[in-house]
Amino acid sequence: MPVVPPRSERLESQATVPSQRGVKDMATSPKSRVAERIAQLAATAASQNTAAAVPGTGISSPVAEISRDTVQPKLERTGAKIKERAHPDRLKQDYLNYLFWLHEFVLDPPTEQLFFVPTKKRVRLANLTIRSHNREHGHDYRPTPCKLFEWVLGAIEYDFSRLTFVDHGAGKGRVLLLASEHPFQAIGGIEFAEELHDDAIMNIQQYPRSRMKCRNVECVLGDASEVGPPEGETLHYFFSPFSREVFAEVLHNIVVSYRQKPRRLYVVLIDPPEVADLMEKSGAFMRLELPLQQRLKMRLFSPYEVVLYRSLA
């Protein structure tokens, strides 16, 4: 007798299997388990909704609970942060920080690599050897941004070969060497901190000669208020080296020399203390407006204020 039923019988018996298994099997099938789980979740959600009703609205939703207890305070905190960040003072400070970063890490490096002793780091005067009664009036060392120096020189419309360039508070000599790439008649720096002065000397000795249009560069160790100004036409450069009191002494020396021999002088002030009144009272200088191109560059990209004066002669 054949073990396998004929094909027609087989199909018929397979087709009837589910119905024959009946309701008992359905209760344990995956589909029914999912349905059961959904029912459980719905019951839980319903009980939560009742607890989270929005007062006075009759709205019952899990969202109500989330917004009241968690989202709303978060939104308030975020709103306060945005408000603080968008405050004009804060935006100004952020932009200033960005400009410092731009100069130090993007614009300065190509030139900075030319110095034998790096010039980019700030140095506190507190730990340096300074034999001057003006020690307490001195400001810490920080370098002029290289591009800013170029913009400043670009604002002076005069034949540089007629001028001596003097950096009052020369630091490590960065500005002296940037100036040496222009055809000044002579370039001199005065620095009162011995360690900085030594670095400046080293940098002057090692700077690539091929870049120097003026090789008559020196840096003296001393106090700027005790070194007399050159007799000829001069560009006096001050990057916030000292207090208003010391500036008044240095300016006095310059003005006395000018009165003896009226001549073309320039005074460049970078990030100056409040000295506009001293310049005005001197009766020897007038403030120059920077040419439009330089003015725009400095407005947009200088982290420091730049003020330019010219002698009346």
Ligand X SMILES: C[S@@+](CC[C@H](N)C(=O)[O-])C[C@H]1O[C@@H](n2cnc3c(N)ncnc32)[C@H](O)[C@@H]1O
Closer by beta carbon to ligand X, 61 or else 273: 273
| Shortest distance, position 243 Cβ to ligand X, whole Å | 8
Q: How far is the CB of 126 from ligand X (least distance, A)?
A: 11
Residue number, 144 or 294, with CB nearest to ligand X: 144
Piece in contact with ligand X (CB under 6 A), picked from 19-27, 33-41, 164-172, 209-217: 164-172
- Residue whose C-alpha is closest to residue 284's, from 307, 305, 254, 304: 254
169 touches ligand X by CB under 6 A = yes
Whole-number Å distance between alpha carbons of 116 and 203: 5
User: In the range 242-281, which residues lie near ligand X by CB under 6 A?
Assistant: 242, 246
Near ligand X by CB under 6 A: residue from 160, 239, 247, 266: 239
Tokens of 86: 């968008």
User: Measured at the alpha carbon of residue 307, what is the angle toward residues 305 and 310, in degrees to the nearest 5?
Assistant: 170
Query: Is 247 in contact with 134 (CB distance < 8 Å)?
Result: no
Q: How far is the CB of 270 from ligand X (least distance, A)?
A: 7
> For every residue of 65-99, which 3-state class applies, written as one string?
HHHHHHHHHHHHHHHHHHHHHCCHHHHHHHHHHHH
Helix (H) or strand (E) segment spanning residue 301: helix 292-301
* Total of chain residues touching ligand X, rule CB under 6 A: 28
- Contact with ligand X (CB under 6 A): which of 111, 164, 180, 240? 240
Chosen residue from 146, 224, 235, 306 binding ligand X by CB under 6 A: 224
Site for ligand X in 100-139 (CB under 6 A): 125, 132, 134, 138-139
Nearer to ligand X, 201 or 292 (CB): 201
Token match 């407005």: residue?
A: 299
Spatial separation of the C-alpha atoms in residues 287 and 83, rounded to whole Å: 39
Is 312 in contact with 264 (CB distance < 8 Å)?
Answer: no
Residues 171-210 that bind ligand X (CB under 6 A): 171, 174-175, 190-193, 196
Question: Of all residues in this chain, which one has the CB nearest to ligand X in the complex?
Answer: 169
For residue 188, what are the CA distances in angstroms to 106, 213, 247, 281?
28, 14, 18, 27
Nearer to ligand X by Cβ, of 146 and 212: the residue is 146
Give residues in contact with ligand X (CB under 6 A): 125, 132, 134, 138-139, 141-144, 167, 169-171, 174-175, 190-193, 196, 223-225, 239-242, 246
